[in-house]
Structure 1
Amino acid sequence: MIAHKLGGLTFFTPEIIESASAQLFNAGISAGFPSPADDFKEQRLSLDEELVKNKEATFYARVSGQSMIDAGLDDNDLLVIDRSLEPANNKIAVCFLDGEFTVKRLRVSNNEVWLQPENPDYPIINITEENNFLIWGIVTNVIKKV
């Protein structure tokens, strides 16, 4: 992967490896009480096939900061961003705002656009004509370390 640091996010261009896959145990893993799974099926799983719908328009970016923690986006999480998706109200988007990249929830109402953080410690941003603003892509998945 090629990394580029821009504003508060680090962007990665995905390197698609055709033969890259991991084993998938298709048994359903219980998050409650354990259940015996004697005859589960083993398959191969490609994360590229699961997470990337449009290879040419998909990028990764690492989150920097705490403004989206209530949406489950924590510092250092890896975002999967699809630039081919149409922006819409309530989508989480990576935006270019006044020279910096940011990730926020889109709020569109009465021909106005707002960038809403998911942390009450951060202000909602009203986009005006004075802003240099571009919706760069829509977040489709988040990859976390546990």
Structure 2
Amino acid sequence: MKNTLLHKSKNLSFFTPKPSNGLGAIFLDTGISAGFPSPAEDFKEERISLDNELVKNKEATFFARVSGQSMIGAGLDDSDLLVIDRSLEPSHNKIAVCFLDGEFTVKRLKIDKEGLWLQPENPNYPIIKITEDNDFIIWGIVTNVIKKV
């Protein structure tokens, strides 16, 4: 899957997905044991496309690379690649990419009768209360994270 850089901000770099025309990578449909090894003759080989697995709505899906540590408790680390779907409805407890006062940020949405907050997943960062004074848009919902190991 090749990506095209759309926008780079302080916290996130946005990309559009460019699905590959290839056959996909080889997928071993056995489950990989994290305990005792399983016999090799039991596996079935087929092809899998990560485009098809990770992108449900091609027109509304974007990628962004994380910059910073505010979401480490949710498993989003510096340099991780986020898959963001702009067609999904924002709701309480979802992880969202938001545009706040001129900058993009990724935070967990906290919504109740008293208002909307952006909750970091790192105690070293403050919770952000959204008010009518903020320039604020929920840009999209994070559906997947791609990590390097």
TM-score by length of 1: 0.97
Structure 1: tracts of 5 or more residues without a match: none
The aligned runs of 1:76-95 (5 Å cut-off) are: 76-95=79-98
Identity %: 73
Out of 51, 55, 67, the residue aligned to residue 54 of structure 2 is 51
Q: State whether residues 63 and 74 of structure 1, in contact with CA within 8 Å, keep that contact through their aligned partners in structure 2.
A: yes
One-letter amino acid of the counterpart of residue 134, structure 2: N
Residue matched to 1:9: 12
Please state how far the C-alpha of 1:19 moved relative to its aligned partner. 2.8
Structure 2: tracts of 5 or more residues without a match: none
Distance 2:61 2:124 in 1: 30
Residue matched to 1:31: 34
One-letter amino acid of the counterpart of residue 21, structure 1: G
Distance 1:127 1:25 in 2: 46
Distance 2:98 2:17 in 1: 19
Distance 1:119 1:32 in 2: 31
Out of 74, 77, 81, the residue aligned to residue 77 of structure 2 is 74
Q: State whether residues 23 and 47 of structure 2, in contact with CA within 8 Å, keep that contact through their aligned partners in structure 1.
A: no
Q: State whether residues 27 and 37 of structure 1, in contact with CA within 8 Å, keep that contact through their aligned partners in structure 2.
A: no
Residue matched to 2:120: 117
* Stretch moving more, 19-28 or 126-135: 19-28
Distance 2:32 2:15 in 1: 31
Distance 2:35 2:107 in 1: 33
Distance 1:28 1:75 in 2: 28
Q: State whether residues 97 and 106 of structure 2, in contact with CA within 8 Å, keep that contact through their aligned partners in structure 1.
A: yes
The aligned runs of 1:95-106 (5 Å cut-off) are: 95-106=98-109
Distance 1:44 1:2 in 2: 25
Over 3 Å counting, the alpha-carbon distance change for 1:20 and 1:137 in structure 2 is farther
Distance 2:9 2:16 in 1: 13
